[in-house]
Amino acid sequence: MTSRALVGLALLAGFVLAQTPDTLPPPPEPPDSTFRVDTVSRYRPAKSTGTAVLLSFLLPGGGQVYTGNWWKAAVIAPAEVTLGYYTVREHLAATDALHNGDSTAYVQHRDRRTVLLWWTGAVVAFSMADAYVSAQMYGFDREMHLTLGMMRAGIAMEF
């Protein structure tokens, strides 16, 4: 990786880590002291949807990192980078074939490049949509988990 990419990743990591504290102090007790809060749920402030979408557009997996979905970033970022690499490679091969006068090779590389561009665009659009939804749902208190057991399978809700 280049030094610019490493600096960008370091800045992004610092930005993400500075966004939310892990815990907040408990809320103040009411003045009459008849009501007592024994447990305080973990407060998760909302994430900006615009920031999530912009980061997802500018950096592969950036919106997923911003919303705390590290495993999604680990899938989306390599997909975007790989598709982008092969798109550029096919473009350069098409350009070389055009300069050499080989029209058959040019058409083949051009068509592959076009298909790869569509796939790259689809993955980027999916990444942006996922970042938007993840930012909208960031403060949601309930999480769904797939449950698998000996006698049952389904979705469990945690509160």
Q: 3-class DSSP state for residue 158?
A: strand
CA-to-CA distance for 142 and 41, rounded, in angstroms?
12
Q: In Å, how far are 11, 63, 82, 147 from 7, measured between CA atoms?
A: 6, 18, 21, 40
Q: Which two tokens stand for residue 23?
A: 């815990």
User: What are the tens digits of pLDDT across the range 45-72?
Assistant: 678 888 999 999 999 999 999 988 899 9
* CA-based nearest residue to 113, from 105, 124, 101, 125: 105
- Tokens 């950096």: give the residue: 59
Domain ranges of the chain: 46-141
**pTM for this structure?**
0.60
User: What are the tens digits of pLDDT across the range 22-51?
Assistant: 445 555 665 555 545 544 455 556 788 889
